[in-house]
Amino acid sequence: MDNGITTKNYKKLVLQAAASGASFCVLDTLNHEVKQLEHFTFIKTAPIDDELWRLFMKFPEMRLRYDEITVLHDNPFNTPVPTALFDENYAGSYLQYNTRVFEADVYAWDALGSYDITNVHVPLMNINNYLVDRLGAFEYKNSNSILMEKLLDASANAFEKQVFVHIQPTHFEIIVTHGQKLLLFNSFEYAAPEDFLYYLLFTMEQLSLNPETASVWLLGSIDTESPLYALAYTYIRNIALYDTTKLAEKWQIPLGRLHKTLSY
């Protein structure tokens, strides 16, 4: 009798997809190793299906068989809700205050581990539909679910409030934790370093966090040479780049490598 062991290849595909591009990694689940990590930029004016087709054509690894496939939707169309207050029959109502929702939208939700938080989000169904045809069944999540959960995990031994700022080329997320409690999650678009600084300082002011004493950690698409870092460093005393390797110790993948931490 075939128990399924002989058909396993001990490989997992994690694909993160956004409107601007996609990243993926191939994992050896037997040895806990990253075998391949790639990024692919979409042409802005091209249909998303055409760009996904180019992705599959460029990388033969996208056409292989995997034991597990996880798709992360990298978009800001999400909001965390206390699980005790969440009702899946009204999922769209939680999103209407911080993002535009439409009658045709499909809603999904991710449970954040043991934190009694449900992250309600809008997956990009045109991406899902294309991937189902090419990959078959897969699990999908909002990438911010992974981001929040990993940062809450990392806050276990922190007794003061922590401000985490995850930066991407056109937007950034602010996550504020106290111990392992989520105090705030929000996403902001920016076009200049001054926009970034304004939203960060405004958020800190609303939470009564003093720029002279509060700990602010930057992660994602940023380094010490970035204009964002230089400007924020001028106004915030305790600001530094966050060492993301400890957020993915099992696989040793820094958070910024797929722009978000991966869900293993």
Residue 225: which domain range? 149-258
Cβ pair 70, 261 in contact under 8 A: no
Is the pLDDT at 263 greater than 90? The verdict is: no
78/86 Cα distance (integer angstroms)? 14
Q: Is residue 90 domain-resident? A: no
Q: What is the pTM of this model?
A: 0.88
Q: Is residue 238 domain-resident? A: yes
**Tokens at 201, concatenated:** 């300082």
Q: Is residue 64 domain-resident? A: no
**Tokens at 46, concatenated:** 């091209």
Q: Is residue 130 domain-resident? A: no
Is the pLDDT at 200 greater than 80? The verdict is: yes
Q: Is residue 221 domain-resident? A: yes
Q: What count of other Cβ atoms lies within 10 Å of the Cβ of residue 209?
A: 20
Predicted confidence (pLDDT) per residue in 90-136, tens digit: 999 999 888 888 888 899 999 997 899 999 999 999 999 999 999 99
**Structural domain tally of the chain?**
1
* Average pLDDT, integer, range 28-56: 93
pLDDT of residue 205: 97
Average pLDDT, the chain: 89
Predicted confidence (pLDDT) per residue in 17-38, tens digit: 998 899 999 999 998 888 999 9
pLDDT of residue 147: 92
Q: Is residue 58 domain-resident? A: no
Cβ pair 187, 172 in contact under 8 A: yes
List the CATH number of the domain containing 165: 3.30.420.260
Q: Is residue 110 domain-resident? A: no
196/170 Cα distance (integer angstroms)? 10
Q: Is residue 44 domain-resident? A: no
pLDDT of residue 33: 87
